[in-house]
Structure 1
Amino acid sequence: MNWLEKKAVLVPIYFSETAFAAVNPARSFVHSARQVHLIHVLPPLHPTDPAVIWNTVSDTSREHQVEVALRDQLTKLGYEEANVTVVIGNPVNAILQYSQEHGIDLIVVPAQDDEEGVLSHFLFGSLAEQLVRSASCPVLVIR
């Protein structure tokens, strides 16, 4: 095993073209697609959301629907064997927690999502920026 090979690589996915573009570089660091972990973090539902009040949407159904959509997209890209996880919470915290719990050697993340707002970026920084500052493993930012 050379110094560039990793045992487990994590790619945060948020259903944009730039996010899926990070999957191929991530795959180049491992022997098999099974070593690629993909995580999508959903925001928590607000208690006053009509879907919550009327019990038409649950966290479990949201997680399941997103996982199905993510697996469909990954199948099109040829990554059926990748590990897929969908969680609810704060994206940075969830990604960091997952990386520690699963022994992730490298996080591969796009530089900036086009959907990030300017104000949000100014106040909180980008997801990539926060991960670079906080992760206990190396973070590769794909531009």
Structure 2
Amino acid sequence: MSEATLILQRARERAADLGLPYSGAVTPTEAHTLAQTLAGVCIVDVRTAAEWQFVGVVPGAELIEWKRFPEMSLNPDFLTQLKHKVDPQDVVLFLCRSGARSHDAAVLAACHGYSESYNILEGFEGDKDPAQHRNSVNGWRAAGLPWVQG
């Protein structure tokens, strides 16, 4: 069994354990491995344009805001933009700052025909440390995965 197949199996088991309404949940390292080794994988970063510009982005990720800064109002065009940029047959890995907005995006996508929707746990910046700072406890950046400044 390939590493990608094992990752997807673990992700589906997490979904069952957590009662998720979408295919599964992956760690940042698992998401990176899937994106590098499996055809038809798309990372969709649902953070705001301000976050992409000032915090950084994953190279090659599709950028579709879930909420718009500064009001943090829902993007009414999210689903249309997703359908325009991402094939519903792809394995879609949703990413946000900490895993909350990406969870919501995965739910919506799964309800609209994206049968392989996954949330990237921990997000781009991860959980806060005891000093209330992100990027050190977990998440994409703390795992040392590729990213570029926006």
TM-score higher than 0.5: no
Query: Relative contact order: is structure 1 or structure 2 higher (C-alpha 8 Å, sep ≥ 6)?
Result: 1
> Larger C-alpha radius of gyration, 1 or 2?
1
TM-score tier, shorter chain, comes to 0.3 to 0.5
Q: TM-score, normalised by structure 1?
A: 0.37
TM-score if structure 2 supplies the norm length? 0.36
